[in-house]
């Protein structure tokens, strides 16, 4: 296991260059046989590694997620501890297990594919292989459950900042937890929390973020093809590692200043349908209203048809633009 992980780091540091078995063995302090076994293991896990006689080994994947690949873009004081899977059932599920074992704040689980991705209101989150970025971040905040919505909204701004830098395209935020580009959803966010019976506050929170980096081969499934979009039209070198690092650092920067609401202006300026007519959806109940803004507690400010105004917390409510 140690040789395999160190080999990934070495490949990341030498992208595009062949490394001989002898050179790798010397660098890692192991035998050439151990190098060969590690290469075979990585290839079985989906890593695209070339093996050429008299030249050695090379990582060919232009956009392969790895802890080493992400860490090279993180600053030394990021406070992030990474575990990266090529595939898992749900990064939120994996991280909740680590949280109950006492993992510290800043622990992050990232995957290139989820077989059981989760969205809001019990929905599934489409998480295909090698075209998306799925991450969960462990937090141990001192806050009440009512304030936890600020974790989700800060994450939305962190994603919007990152995808704008990567793609050069403007991102919008649909209250409370979705990020859009050009009218199509490219990201969903799900924050799950465990509560302390002693003080009624949060024991921990897990902020899950799923991003469509590219459109999957064959397109999106029928039920979301008219809604879903992607950050980029075509694959680009090392984008998912760069995007993961940007999102993590952006989010932790906002999170450490949550009480200052440093993310709020970025959230309000990107808020979709501000000033437009919407429907508030609570189960089968639909209430028409006008979307005014998001307030300092990240609640939605709306005006009903009778002229009365209200603030809406996330809960079990969804919004849709009125046609």
Known binding residues for biotin: 90-92, 114, 185
The beta strand positions in the chain, using DSSP E, are 49-52, 56-59, 81-85, 107-111, 132-139, 171-174, 178-181, 184-195, 202-212, 277-282, 285-294, 300-304, 309-312, 317-321
Burial profile 21-45: b = 16 or more Cβ within 10 angstroms, e = fewer: bebbbebbebeeebbeebbeebeee
DSSP 8-state symbol, 216 = P
With b meaning 16 or more CB within 10 Å and e meaning fewer, what string describes 158-192?
bbbbbbbebbeeebbbbbbbbbbbeebbbbbbbbb
Binding residues, as ranges, are: 90-92, 114, 185
DSSP assigned state of 87: S
Chain CA centroid to CA 237, Å: 19
Q: Alpha-carbon distance 137 to 86, whole Å?
A: 17
Dihedral angle of Cα 14, 167, 214, 225, to the nearest 10 degrees: 170
């Amino acid at each position: 296991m140690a040789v395999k992980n160190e080999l990934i780091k070495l490949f990341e540091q030498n992208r595009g260059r062949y490394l001989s078995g002898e050179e790798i063995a010397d660098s890692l302090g192991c035998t050439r046989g151990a190098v060969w076994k590690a290469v075979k293991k990585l290839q079985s896990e989906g890593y695209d590694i070339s093996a050429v006689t008299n030249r050695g080994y090379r990582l060919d994947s232009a956009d392969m997620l790895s802890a080493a690949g992400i860490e090279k873009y993180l600053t030394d004081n990021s406070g992030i501890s990474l575990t990266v899977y090529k595939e898992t059932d749900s990064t939120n599920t994996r991280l909740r297990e680590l949280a109950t074992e006492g993992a510290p704040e800043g622990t992050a689980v990232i995957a290139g594919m989820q077989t059981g991705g989760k969205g809001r209101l019990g929905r599934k989150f489409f998480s295909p292989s090698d075209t998306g970025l799925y991450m969960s971040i462990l937090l141990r905040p001192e806050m009440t459950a009512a304030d936890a919505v600020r974790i989700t909204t800060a994450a939305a701004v962190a994603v919007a900042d990152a995808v704008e830098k990567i793609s050069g395209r403007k991102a919008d935020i649909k209250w409370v937890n979705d990020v859009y580009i050009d009218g199509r959803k490219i990201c969903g966010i799900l924050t799950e929390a465990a509560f302390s019976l002693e003080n009624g506050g949060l024991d921990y929170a897990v902020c899950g973020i799923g991003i469509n980096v590219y459109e999957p081969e064959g397109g999106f499934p029928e039920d979301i093809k008219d809604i879903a979009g992607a950050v980029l039209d075509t694959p680009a070198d090392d984008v998912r590692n760069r995007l993961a690092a940007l999102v993590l650092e952006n989010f932790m920067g906002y999170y450490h200043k949550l009480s200052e609401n440093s993310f709020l202006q970025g959230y309000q300026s990107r808020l979709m349908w501000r000033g437009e007519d919407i429907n508030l959806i609570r189960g089968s109940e639909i209430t028409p209203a006008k979307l005014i803004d998001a307030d300092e507690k990240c609640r939605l400010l709306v005006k009903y048809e009778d002229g009365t105004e209200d603030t809406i917390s996330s809960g079990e409510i969804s919004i849709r633009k009125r046609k």
